[in-house]
Structure 1
Amino acid sequence: MAINDYITGIQHVGIPAIDLDKTMAFYQSLGFERAGLFHNGKNRCAFMRLGNLTIETWEGDPTNPTAGAINHISLNTTDVDRAFAAAKQQGLTLVNDEIQSIPTFWRKGIRFFNILGPNHETIEFCQILD
């Protein structure tokens, strides 16, 4: 069992927003469409899509106002439980002790976990539960 058995490609790139409305308007001006707008607690989270690129942008977390301010890269995962087991087996650096979930995203929620890459970049393995 290898983690790449459960990955189909990039799902989204995560970028926190100082002003979510301005961020959505900016990406719409580049041709992106709003694929979803969700609430995570009191904060809003938008998914902006152009072709096969999806950007997740949200309010409420600190932002890094310097170049390279991407928060995470998310990989689409077909079976998050098996991917999590494979990540443990491969000895990857897990950020989460267990699989996380957000039930308010998409129709039936998401389940995900994060690892750190060799440069301390966060890589999310995410399964949409539709």
Structure 2
Amino acid sequence: MALSDYFTGIQHVGIPSVDLDKTIAFYESLGFKQAGLFHNGANRCAFMSFGNLTIETWEGDPTARKAGAINHISLNTPDVDKAFAAAKQQGLRLVDKEIQSIPSFWEHGIRYFNILGPNEETIEFCQIL
């Protein structure tokens, strides 16, 4: 069971925002389209798409405000349960002890977990339900 059997490619890049409306306007000025706008508790989260690139940007978390400000990369995961089991079996550094969920994203929600890479980068494995 290899983790690479359970993801199909990049799903999105996550960048926290100081001002979500300005961030949306900036990416729209570059030609991105808003693919979704969701609420996660009191905070808003926008998905901005251009071709095969999707950026998730949200308010409410600290921002680095310097180079290296990307919070995470997300890999498209058709079966998050099998991916999670493979990550544990592979001995990867799991951020989450169990699979997380956000029911308010997309039509039926998402399930995901995060690992840390060798440079402390966060890699999310996300299944859109």
TM category, shorter: over 0.9
Q: 1:18: which partner in 2?
A: 18
Residues 25-75 of structure 1 deviation map (CA, whole Å, 9 limit, x = unaligned): 000000000000000000000000000000000000010011110000000
Q: Distance in 2 between matches of 1:82 and 1:7?
A: 10
- Structure 2: stretches of 5+ with no match in the other structure: none
Q: Distance in 2 between matches of 1:48 and 1:55?
A: 5
Residues 1-29 of structure 1 deviation map (CA, whole Å, 9 limit, x = unaligned): 11100110000000000000000000000
Residues 74-105 of structure 1 deviation map (CA, whole Å, 9 limit, x = unaligned): 00001000000000000000000000000000
Amino acid at match of 2:52: N
Q: How does 1:51-70 map to 2 (within 5 A)?
A: 51-70=51-70
Q: 1:127: which partner in 2?
A: 127
C-alpha RMSD over aligned residues: 0.3
Q: Percent identity?
A: 81
* TM-score normalised to structure 1 length: 0.99
* TM-score normalised to structure 2 length: 0.99
**2:77 aligned with 1:80:** no
Q: Distance in 1 between matches of 2:104 and 2:86?
A: 27
Q: 1:40: which partner in 2?
A: 40
SS at match of 1:84: helix
Q: Distance in 1 between matches of 2:90 and 2:67?
A: 32
Q: Distance in 1 between matches of 2:70 and 2:64?
A: 8
- Structure 1: stretches of 5+ with no match in the other structure: none
Residues 107-126 of structure 1 deviation map (CA, whole Å, 9 limit, x = unaligned): 00000000000000000000
Amino acid at match of 1:94: L
Amino acid at match of 1:116: L
Amino acid at match of 2:112: F
Task: Give aligned pairs, total.
Answer: 129
